[in-house]
Chain A
Amino acid sequence: MSDADLLATEHDDIGQIIKRALRNRSFLVGLVITLAVLALALMSFVWTPYDVTKLVIADRLKAPSFAHWFGTDHFGRDIASMIMEGARNSIAVALVAVAIGIIIGVPIGCWAAAKRGIVDEILMRSSDIIFAFPALLSAVMITAIFGPGAVNAIIAIGIFNIPVFARVARGAALSIWPREFILAARASGKSDARITREHILPNIANLLLVQGTIQFSLGILAEAGLSYVGLGAQPPNPSWGRMLSEAQTMMSLAPQMAIAPGVAIIITVLGLNLLGDGLRDVLDPKLRRDR
């Protein structure tokens, strides 16, 4: 779908959008999965089936049972409880990384679109340069130099969201600027900044929302990768990636240890991707189903 399709929703009323949302299977499934994962993560703040910081060696490497739904790990910790707390970490890292991308990237993109010319050229070429760095490689470099941990993982992932949002915002804003209502706003003497705030941003919000969902799911995968190599959240905070790296050493003894964290990542990413696809269709009045 081109950006222009998504931008054309300015005259859609909220009722129509909700009606379309309720009919869109991808949106509904994605929304339910995402809300369920969020709910589990939030619930872990007040309740988990077992305490994940308590090691119960007598219960180590238990197969899934009624008492331990996904079994226990090599320290006898309940895997289901660790998955719940790990969700918290994954979501927090990916969400803040998206926020960094939006807060810094969108103003840059909007500025480039408003100023055009040399400013635009410099900003966009700079984003090209960042794109030349394989994101994971640089994330590994950043977290290694500044030390492993959730905060540095957020920064490493967030930096790569900046050019993504800058480009999306610029592309979308560029297609709004020539419109008549912008000309009218200009004629009434409004500044570029005010036009961007009052007219451009509300019109490109749809597109940013869809992109935000995509980057969120990529962030979950990136965080898992960083934690897997030991550069994400540090013990005792459980993280899905680190659970997998611990499972790797136990692979021949207890393969079940690797199943639950992997499935948790897949379900979360799948939910977000479906939600993103659904949102795109819901916010696009032409409803192009072929993507």
Chain B
Amino acid sequence: MLAYAARRLLTVLITLLAASLIVFAVLQIVPGDPARLMLGINATQDAVDNLRQQLNLDDPIHVRYATWLTDMARGDFGSSYTYSVPVRELIAERVIVSLPLALIALTLSTLVAIPVGIFTASRHGTSTDTATMAVTQFGIAIPNFWFALLLVYIFAITLRWVPAGGFPGWDDGILPALQSLILPAVALALPQAAILSRITRSALLETMREDYIRTARAKGLPARRVLWHHALRNALIPVLTIMGLQFAFLLAGTIIIENVFYLPGLGRLVFQAIQQLDLIVVQSVVTLLVAAVISVNFLVDLAYAWADPRLRSRTR
């Protein structure tokens, strides 16, 4: 297991390095002088020169990459040009919105999807199964930002149960903060729940066809016990992988959903930074988000290998 983890960790590090190179490269190929681009056409040459110096734009490209990378590794993400504060502070302010949002969405989608998947698998082929699967087809097809607008109209504009947007911060208590996060979380969770319930169902049905399940049934174990004690544990392995992948979708989904609800999270930060061409913020936040995705997938892989020892040897 340790050898497997070490090998995977090495791949993770290489992937991280390559990903950082891509982010760096993409922002190098912006048309024209990045400093001029960030400051706009009306900026004085002095201001542009100043920014060029701040961004080390006169250094050779490989030196700039190395400096950026070592600074990032030390936790120095540079300074935001538009906000005039260290990017690290900006990220710290925003992550306490986005992370709870993504986690609430993931929890919601899991709490809905796994029971639905188990329920439909246990009633495979019945009209309940068909109807539920039809509903999940709709769930996959609904764009989450449209669903978000619908939720705002019903629960914020018509019923006035929750605010239509904005975030009061965590200082005024947990409840008002959660109230502003609940609609965005539901909107983010819907398509994920639909996908996850379909995957839970098909993973369970697949497992139910295995020989050891037949043996358990032949031993005279009741169907319910076989489902809960034998099939479910094995079927949850692919479900876990998909949950890991969904974390990436949730993170990316926050870009749009935070815009719908005017939430001051990482997604909105990166979106605004892109619009204002604050390339330092874009570079750092995108790299951080990608690193988060890679790390989560690494953890899922480890959990996967721990749960199913066959995988460790298969990937060797």
- The answer to the question of A247 belonging to the interface, with a C-beta cut-off of 8 Å to chain B, is yes
| Binary CB contact string for chain B from 24 to 62 against chain A (1 if under 8 A, 0 otherwise) | 001101110000000000000000000000000000000
Stretch at the interface among A52-60, A178-186, A205-213, A258-266: A258-266
Kindly list chain A residues whose C-beta atoms are within 8 Å of the C-beta of B271: 140, 229
What is the CA–CA distance of A141 and B289 in the complex, to the nearest angstrom? 13
- The answer to the question of B213 belonging to the interface, with a C-beta cut-off of 8 Å to chain A, is no
| Binary CB contact string for chain B from 120 to 150 against chain A (1 if under 8 A, 0 otherwise) | 0000100000000000011011110110011
Given A144-B274, A145-B26, A258-B146, answer yes or no on A273-B256 (Cβ-Cβ < 8 Å): no
Q: Is the CB of A290 within 8 A of B153?
A: no
Q: Is the CB of B252 within 8 A of A229?
A: no
Kindly list chain A residues whose C-beta atoms are within 8 Å of the C-beta of B143: 221, 224-225, 228, 244, 262, 265-266, 269
| Binary CB contact string for chain A from 108 to 148 against chain B (1 if under 8 A, 0 otherwise) | 00000000000000000110110011111110111011100
Minimum CB–CB distance from A155 to chain B (whole Å) comes to: 12
- The answer to the question of A255 belonging to the interface, with a C-beta cut-off of 8 Å to chain B, is yes
Taking each of A133, A248, A270, which has the highest tally of chain B beta carbons within 10 Å of its own beta carbon?
A133
Q: Is the CB of A141 within 8 A of B137?
A: no
Kindly list chain A residues whose C-beta atoms are within 8 Å of the C-beta of B255: 136-137, 140, 229
Kindly list chain A residues whose C-beta atoms are within 8 Å of the C-beta of B297: 132
Kindly list chain B residues whose C-beta atoms are within 8 Å of the C-beta of A251: 149, 152-153, 157
- The answer to the question of B249 belonging to the interface, with a C-beta cut-off of 8 Å to chain A, is yes
Name B271-292 residues within 8 Å CB distance of A: 271, 274-275, 282, 286, 289-290
Q: Is the CB of B270 within 8 A of A137?
A: yes
- The answer to the question of B196 belonging to the interface, with a C-beta cut-off of 8 Å to chain A, is no
Kindly list chain A residues whose C-beta atoms are within 8 Å of the C-beta of B27: 145
Given A136-B252, A136-B253, A225-B143, answer yes or no on A141-B274 (Cβ-Cβ < 8 Å): yes
Q: Is the CB of A269 within 8 A of B19?
A: no
Kindly list chain A residues whose C-beta atoms are within 8 Å of the C-beta of B241: none
- The answer to the question of A19 belonging to the interface, with a C-beta cut-off of 8 Å to chain B, is no
Kindly list chain A residues whose C-beta atoms are within 8 Å of the C-beta of B140: 269, 273
Q: Is the CB of B149 within 8 A of A134?
A: no
Q: Is the CB of B274 within 8 A of A132?
A: no
What is the CA–CA distance of A224 and B202 in the complex, to the nearest angstrom? 29
Nearest neighbor of A142 in chain B, beta-carbon distance: B26
Q: Is the CB of B275 within 8 A of A144?
A: yes
Nearest neighbor of B17 in chain A, beta-carbon distance: A129
- The answer to the question of A274 belonging to the interface, with a C-beta cut-off of 8 Å to chain B, is yes
- The answer to the question of B15 belonging to the interface, with a C-beta cut-off of 8 Å to chain A, is yes
Kindly list chain B residues whose C-beta atoms are within 8 Å of the C-beta of A258: 146, 149-150, 153
Name B187-240 residues within 8 Å CB distance of A: 198, 201-202, 205-206
Given A142-B26, A252-B157, answer yes or no on A229-B289 (Cβ-Cβ < 8 Å): no
- The answer to the question of A11 belonging to the interface, with a C-beta cut-off of 8 Å to chain B, is no
Q: Interface residues of A, CB < 8 Å — how many?
A: 41
- The answer to the question of A291 belonging to the interface, with a C-beta cut-off of 8 Å to chain B, is yes
Q: Is the CB of B26 within 8 A of A290?
A: no
Taking each of B19, B198, B251, B255, which has the highest tally of chain A beta carbons within 10 Å of its own beta carbon?
B255
Minimum CB–CB distance from A129 to chain B (whole Å) comes to: 5
Minimum CB–CB distance from A94 to chain B (whole Å) comes to: 13
Q: Is the CB of A132 within 8 A of B290?
A: yes
Q: Is the CB of B30 within 8 A of A134?
A: no
A-B contact pairs, 8 of them (CB 8 A): A133-B19, A140-B271, A140-B274, A225-B145, A228-B145, A252-B157, A262-B142, A274-B137
A residues in contact (CB < 8 Å) with B: 125-126, 128-129, 132-138, 140-142, 144-146, 217, 221, 224-225, 228-229, 244, 247-248, 251-252, 255, 258, 261-262, 265-267, 269-270, 273-274, 290-291
4 tightest A-B CB contacts, nearest first: A134-B252, A144-B274, A269-B141, A262-B146
Known: A125-B11, A129-B15, A258-B153. 17 other contacts (CB 8 A): A125-B14, A128-B15, A129-B22, A132-B294, A133-B19, A134-B248, A136-B252, A140-B255, A145-B274, A217-B141, A228-B143, A228-B145, A251-B153, A262-B150, A265-B143, A269-B143, A291-B202
